[in-house]
């Protein structure tokens, strides 16, 4: 389900109109995230850290209303939830792209199993344009070879583009065994401000720590 927003009552309408004047209203922020609990959970349950972090990311994304706004022309919709569209290894050099329905309340192990099944069903690494535009997605990828400090992702020159883009790098360990990585979020300023990024970070940290109780 989704709900069309009445702009006359939408408190963000003025801010949206402000950034609508820009051809490129997008910005990105990178921070360090402690993923120790996610790595421990993945190891104990025989799943990948990547799938675990996608699960944590989607749980956090869907907990913040601003990340569920979507622009369609001059209209704004509030989605019930977003779905992950993520990259995965296709062969030695190429990556594939896979879309998955987000199921609220699903545990990370079941989610990882559905990821594997969806990837196995892919006949081509790149989805058709129709499939790529069909879902209300979050684009997720990783750069596991590099512990980067910042990265800029690709985006269309369409200032109504509402798809959050998330990437993380190679994790490193300190002397105490804590694992951290660079985590980047790229968003449209028409819909998302810094306070919403802070709420996403809180939700992400909360989802990772919650793994210790599963």
Tally of structural domains, the chain: 1
Three-class secondary structure assignment of the chain = CEEECCHHHCCCHHHHHHHHCCCCCEEEEEEEEECHHHHHHHHHHCCCHHHHHHHHHHHHHCCCHHHHEEEECCEEEEECCCEEEEEEECCCCCEEEEECCCCCCCCHHHHHHHHHHHHHHCCCCCCCHHHHCCCCEEEEEEECCCCCCCCCCCCCCCCCCCCCEEEEECCEECCCCCEEEEEEEEEECCCCCHHHHHHHHHHHHHHHHHHHHC
Q: What is the CATH number of the domain that holds 10?
A: 3.30.559.10
Q: In a structure prediction context, what are the per-residue pLDDT tens digits for the chain, which is 214 residues long?
A: 799 999 999 999 999 999 999 999 999 999 999 999 999 999 999 999 999 999 999 999 999 999 999 999 999 999 999 999 999 999 989 999 999 999 999 999 999 999 999 999 988 898 765 555 555 799 999 999 999 999 988 989 999 999 999 999 999 999 999 999 999 999 999 999 999 999 999 999 999 999 999 8
Quote the domain boundaries for residue 121: 2-213
For the entire predicted model, the pTM comes to: 0.95
């Amino acid at each position: 389900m989704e709900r069309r927003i009445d702009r006359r009552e939408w408190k963000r309408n003025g801010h949206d109109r402000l950034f609508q004047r820009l051809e490129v209203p997008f910005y990105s922020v990178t921070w360090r995230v402690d993923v120790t609990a996610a790595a421990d959970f993945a190891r104990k349950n025989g799943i990948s850290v990547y799938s675990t972090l996608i699960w944590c990311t989607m749980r956090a994304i869907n907990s913040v209303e601003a990340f569920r706004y979507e622009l369609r022309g001059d209209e704004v919709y509030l989605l019930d939830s977003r779905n992950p569209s993520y990259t995965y290894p296709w062969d030695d050099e190429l990556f594939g792209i896979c879309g998955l329905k987000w199921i609220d309340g699903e545990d990370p192990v079941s989610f990882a199993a559905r990821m594997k099944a969806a990837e196995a069903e892919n006949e081509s690494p790149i989805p058709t344009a129709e499939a790529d535009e069909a879902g209300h997605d979050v684009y997720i990828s990783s750069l596991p070879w590099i512990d980067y400090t910042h990265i800029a992702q690709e985006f269309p020159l369409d200032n109504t583009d509402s798809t959050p883009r998330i990437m993380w790098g190679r994790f490193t360990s300190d002397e105490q065994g804590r694992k951290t990585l660079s985590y980047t979020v790229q968003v449209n300023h028409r819909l998302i401000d810094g306070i919403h990024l802070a709420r996403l970070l809180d939700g992400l940290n909360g989802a990772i720590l919650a793994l210790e109780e599963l």
